[in-house]
Amino acid sequence: MEHVVWIDNKPFRKGYTTGSCATAAAKVAALMVLQQTVISQVSITTPSGVVLDLDVLEPYIEENTATAAIQKDGGDDIDVTHGMLIFASVTLNKSGAITIDGGEGIGRVTRKGVRHEIGAAAINDTPRRTIEEAVREVIGEQRGAHVVIFAPEGEERAQQTFNPRLGIMGGISIIGTTGIVTPMSEEGWKKSISLEIEMKREQGLDKIIFVPGNQGEKFAEALGFNSQYVVVMSNFVRHVLKDAERLGFKRVLILGHLGKLIKVAAGIFHTHNHVADGRIETLIALLALMGVPQDFLLQIDQCKTTEAAMELIEQENYQAVYQQIALRIKERVEQLSRFTKNPMQADAVLCSMDGKLLGCSAPLTTLIEEFQL
């Protein structure tokens, strides 16, 4: 295994997923119950072909059941599951079948749209497959086994994940498609957001509201929008819009703080600062199109933040620029899907950091009324 990935000429250590932990724990528990011997290390091959040699923690054997734990290591891509113990309990039986379930600290599905039946343990398809394959390899074709994956810290740590928003309650999810965590990867984050968008569509919604973060959620709620439509998109504007387009959403509303969303008005669809900026430059350009004097534009050019620029704009009564920004966002978003069979119709709502409404691309009352169940 290549243990590091190089990003911006710096080495970052790779890690392994909760799915790899669960697979390794199940494999070693099956070995221990079969051999009636405590084992201190186990080897698995991840779906990506990487071989992991992992230390076994808290091994325990009692008659036809064995339990073992593997400690999650996210490498340099630290997340809320980093360092926690993922346990597997394996009980042998004569059924010939291998069943897999979640125990303490593993979430349960409570809503449609997350690729599992309601009531099922949140153990994704790839980990389920690798757990079953690893246990089958150990116990052979004739025996059966009941496998329970659990994580004592899971319920507490899950409060810091997307799970409650997705309707996965009571714990973490066992996830992973490659078995390896690559540092600085945005893919896991994007997949979580995509899953939430899919869930909204599964629930029959054909309209959606995208907000950059928790502040945007609060803005939407305070303004009177129904929270059932809201999805936090983080910086991944293009990603969520393409997902909405793929799933057949007809209407999309972009709502949030001016400092983040003004980038979209400039055609910047990944809004993290390390990708692109241009906030002040975009503001200057749109103010100039309104005929604002050059002296004022030069003052805006000296502002370090959009909040500072907003103070000057309010002093000189140039707030009309906010509607122009909202209209430009609407235009940019609609351009993304203009060549599809069913182009999405878009609108935008801009707020200040303290939740004050700045501008809309359509009457606010009309938008609020439209985004009600």
CATH number of the domain where residue 205 is located: 3.40.1050
pLDDT of residue 274: 73
181, 212, 231: which is the final residue of a domain?
A: 181
Structure pTM? Answer: 0.70
Confidence class for position 61, pLDDT limits 50, 70, 90? very high
Q: Are 106 and 154 a contacting pair, CB within 8 Å?
A: yes
If DSSP codes are grouped into helix, strand and coil, which group holds residue 326? helix
Q: Is the pLDDT of residue 151 over 80?
A: yes
Summary mean pLDDT of the chain = 92
**Beta strands, E only, 237-336:** 251-257
Measure CA 51 to chain center. 27
User: Which of 181 and 345 is assigned the larger pLDDT?
Assistant: 345
User: Which of 316 and 272 is assigned the larger pLDDT?
Assistant: 316
Note whether 155 and 247 are same-domain residues: no
**CA 223 to each of CA 218, 227, 301: distance values in angstroms, whole numbers, following the listed order:** 8, 11, 31
Note whether 308 and 365 are same-domain residues: yes
Backbone φ/ψ region at 363: left (φ over 0), alpha (ψ -120 to 50), beta: beta
| Strand partners of residue 148 | 89, 101
Residue with tokens 């996210």: 74
* Average pLDDT for 24-41: 97
Confidence class for position 186, pLDDT limits 50, 70, 90? confident
Query: CA-to-CA distance for 340 and 304, rounded, in angstroms?
Result: 39
Query: CA-to-CA distance for 72 and 188, rounded, in angstroms?
Result: 16
Q: Is the pLDDT of residue 105 over 70?
A: yes
Note whether 147 and 249 are same-domain residues: no
Q: Is the pLDDT of residue 305 over 90?
A: no
Residue 64 neighbours by CB distance under 10 Å = 13
pLDDT of residue 1: 43
pLDDT of residue 350: 97
Domain count, the chain: 2
Query: CA-to-CA distance for 326 and 312, rounded, in angstroms?
Result: 19
Confidence class for position 166, pLDDT limits 50, 70, 90? confident
Q: Is the pLDDT of residue 355 over 70?
A: yes
Residues in the chain: 373
Least confident of 6-20, 99-113, 297-311: 6-20
pLDDT of residue 82: 92
Residue among 252, 256, 254, 253 at smallest CA distance from 215? 256
Cβ neighbours of residue 292 closer than 8 Å, sequence gap 6 or more: 318
Note whether 78 and 223 are same-domain residues: no
Note whether 158 and 21 are same-domain residues: yes
Confidence class for position 2, pLDDT limits 50, 70, 90? low
126, 147, 181: which is the final residue of a domain?
A: 181
Pairing mode of beta strands 180-181, 207-211: unpaired
pLDDT of residue 8: 62
pLDDT of residue 113: 66
pLDDT of residue 7: 61
Paired tokens of 121 = 């343990």
Query: CA-to-CA distance for 1 and 8, rounded, in angstroms?
Result: 21
Q: Are 193 and 232 a contacting pair, CB within 8 Å?
A: yes
Q: Is the pLDDT of residue 78 over 80?
A: no
Note whether 304 and 257 are same-domain residues: yes
User: Which of 25 and 275 is assigned the larger pLDDT?
Assistant: 25
Burial of 106 (0-12, 13-18, 19+ CB in 10 A): buried
Q: Is the pLDDT of residue 207 over 80?
A: yes
Note whether 195 and 133 are same-domain residues: no
In the DSSP assignment, the letter for residue 100 is: E
If DSSP codes are grouped into helix, strand and coil, which group holds residue 243? helix
Cβ neighbours of residue 69 closer than 8 Å, sequence gap 6 or more: 25, 56, 57, 58, 85, 86, 87, 88
Query: CA-to-CA distance for 6 and 100, rounded, in angstroms?
Result: 37
Q: Is the pLDDT of residue 188 over 80?
A: no
Q: Is the pLDDT of residue 358 over 90?
A: yes
Confidence class for position 31, pLDDT limits 50, 70, 90? very high
Q: Is the pLDDT of residue 213 over 90?
A: no
* Average pLDDT for 5-13: 72
Note whether 101 and 193 are same-domain residues: no
Paired tokens of 328 = 């430009």
* Average pLDDT for 76-104: 94
Note whether 56 and 133 are same-domain residues: yes
* Average pLDDT for 351-367: 93
pLDDT of residue 116: 80
Note whether 289 and 363 are same-domain residues: yes
Q: Is the pLDDT of residue 182 over 50?
A: yes
Least confident of 9-13, 213-217, 222-226, 292-296: 9-13
Note whether 203 and 165 are same-domain residues: no
Would you list the DSSP string of 46-69? -TTS-EEEEE-EEEEEETTEEEEE
If DSSP codes are grouped into helix, strand and coil, which group holds residue 135? helix
Confidence class for position 114, pLDDT limits 50, 70, 90? low
Looking at 38-149, list the stretches that DSSP marks H as alpha helix, in order from N- to C-terminal side.
125-139
157, 181, 205: which is the final residue of a domain?
A: 181
Note whether 191 and 270 are same-domain residues: yes
Confidence class for position 112, pLDDT limits 50, 70, 90? confident
Query: CA-to-CA distance for 3 and 334, rounded, in angstroms?
Result: 43
Looking at residue 76, which CATH number applies to its domain? 3.30.2110.10
Confidence class for position 75, pLDDT limits 50, 70, 90? confident
pLDDT of residue 3: 76
Residue 346 lies in domain? 187-370
